[in-house]
């Protein structure tokens, strides 16, 4: 069905097509019998896929990355389609509009996207209040993460206002989220990636870890992760992983979009699109490298989300065997359509059965082992 609809959607401006996709999910979000029927069809229990990490239980390791549902408008519908977790946002302390259009581009020959949206969202407080109206994370039915980022109007220097900005978003997110992801790696907010420098990251993440430990505001401690870019050199990655380990964060999300345009089948369209973060299959090889490095540096106890170019169950397996506990998709959802979480879960279950393993935990980080 989606193969018939996609050419029509792809004939539209990408932002309009995205809005129409969210609108199409409204009946599933708001009509409980429809949602229950979709969940029964698309989110079937598959015991081999159940994944436990960070004290949470994920019905499948396949989740939806931040960026699709920035404002918590369709979390229950997305869970009903079969995603094993939903990451909302990225939200910022202050409401902000998208960067000037055009800001979203398709590269169909590469099954890729370029975006320079710049964290458009309704603001952390408003987004989390909307999640309450959906029944909170429990009402969604799968673990819910919230990605937090820096408000555009807050300059990177001095650092104190940046930290205060993140803390404000974190306080809103921690009240509801099952886990919180600190986004310091989008290429679309000016100077944001400077926060991946080990010294700056230590200051920011220390403040968030400290806030997470406090209960004076009535909040609760939640698993805290940091989302990293694929474009860093090895030494910078190792230094950042050392900070993650030192501060006791639960893990990392690897990776965000890339500014690289290497290896594209359609470089002309990419050049015409201009600046922005590239997502999809061209990112996959590098994302796998970063996942391997994260597992090597952070050890067996860390939780690693692998993100970048997941299209098939074999891609999911590759990320898990490289060291990821969980994976996320975004661009694959745009190109593959609403059935992709069901299809990936079904095919992954069959792969695990063929490997004669009991679950995901049996194959995490085993790519150099014969199964």
DSSP 71-106: TSSSHHHHHHTT-S-EEEEEE-SS-BPPPSSP-EEE
34-75 residue pLDDT tens: 999 999 999 999 999 999 999 999 999 999 999 999 999 999
Select from 3.40.50.300, 3.20.20.70, 3.40.50.1860, 2.30.110.10 the CATH code of 2-360: 3.20.20.70
> What is the dihedral sign for C-alpha 157, 158, 163, 169?
negative
| 277: Cβ contacts below 8 Å, ≥ 6 apart | 114, 115, 116, 186, 187, 188, 256, 257, 258, 259
Among all residues, which ones are annotated catalytic?
Answer: 186
- Contact at 8 Å (CB) between 253 and 228? yes
Do β-strands 51-53 and 56-58 pair in parallel, antiparallel, or remain unpaired?
Answer: antiparallel
CA distance 123 to 13: 25
Residues in the chain: 371
- Contact at 8 Å (CB) between 305 and 254? yes
pLDDT value, residue 214: 86
CA distance 53 to 361: 10
pLDDT value, residue 2: 87
Share of the chain above pLDDT 70, in %: 98
pLDDT value, residue 218: 56
118-135 residue pLDDT tens: 999 999 999 999 999 999
| 4: Cβ contacts below 8 Å, ≥ 6 apart | none
CA distance 114 to 328: 17
Phi/psi for 165 (5° steps) reads -65, -45
- Contact at 8 Å (CB) between 181 and 146? yes
Regions of the chain short of the pLDDT cut 70: 216-219, 371
CA distance 264 to 68: 23
CA distance 320 to 179: 20
- Contact at 8 Å (CB) between 188 and 120? no
pTM exceeding the 0.95 threshold for the entire prediction: yes
- Contact at 8 Å (CB) between 302 and 129? no
pLDDT value, residue 3: 87
Q: Work out the angle between the directed axes of helices 32-42 and 340-355 (0-180°, nearest 10).
A: 30
């Amino acid at each position: 069905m989606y193969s018939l609809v996609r050419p029509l959607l792809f004939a539209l401006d990408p932002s309009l097509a995205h809005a129409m996709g969210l609108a199409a999910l409204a009946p599933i979000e708001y009509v409980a019998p429809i949602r229950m029927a979709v969940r029964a069809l698309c989110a079937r229990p598959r015991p081999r896929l159940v994944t436990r990490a960070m004290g949470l239980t994920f019905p499948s390791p396949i989740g939806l990355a931040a960026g699709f549902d920035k404002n918590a408008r369709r979390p229950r519908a997305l869970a009903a389609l079969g995603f094993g977790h939903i990451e909302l946002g990225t939200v910022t302390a202050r409401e902000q509009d998208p960067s000037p259009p055009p800001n979203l581009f398709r590269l169909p020959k590469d099954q890729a996207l370029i975006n320079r949206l710049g964290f458009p969202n309704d603001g952390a407080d408003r987004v989390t209040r909307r999640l309450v109206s959906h029944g909170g994370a429990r009402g969604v039915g799968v673990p819910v993460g919230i990605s937090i980022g820096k408000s555009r109007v807050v300059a990177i220097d001095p650092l104190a206002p940046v930290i205060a900005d993140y803390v404000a978003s974190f306080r809103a997110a921690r009240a509801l989220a099952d886990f919180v992801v600190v986004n310091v790696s989008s290429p679309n907010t000016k100077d944001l990636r400077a926060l991946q420098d080990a010294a700056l990251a230590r200051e920011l993440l220390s403040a968030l870890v400290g806030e997470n430990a406090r209960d004076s505001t009535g909040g609760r401690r939640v698993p805290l992760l940091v989302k990293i870019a694929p474009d860093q050199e090895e030494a910078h990655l190792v230094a950042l992983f050392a900070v993650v380990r030192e501060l006791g964060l639960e893990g990392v999300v690897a990776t965000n979009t890339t500014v690289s345009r290497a290896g594209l089948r359609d470089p002309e369209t990419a050049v015409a699109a201009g600046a922005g973060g590239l997502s999809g299959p061209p990112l996959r090889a590098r994302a796998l490298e970063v996942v391997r490095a994260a597992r090597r540096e952070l050890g067996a106890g860390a939780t690693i989300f692998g993100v970048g170019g997941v299209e098939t169950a074999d891609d999911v397996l590759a990320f898990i065997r490289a060291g990821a506990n969980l994976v996320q998709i975004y661009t694959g959802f745009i190109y593959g359509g609403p059935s992709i979480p069901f299809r990936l879960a079904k095919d992954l279950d069959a792969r695990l059965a063929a490997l004669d393993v009991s679950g995901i935990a049996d194959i995490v980080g085993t790519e150099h082992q014969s199964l």
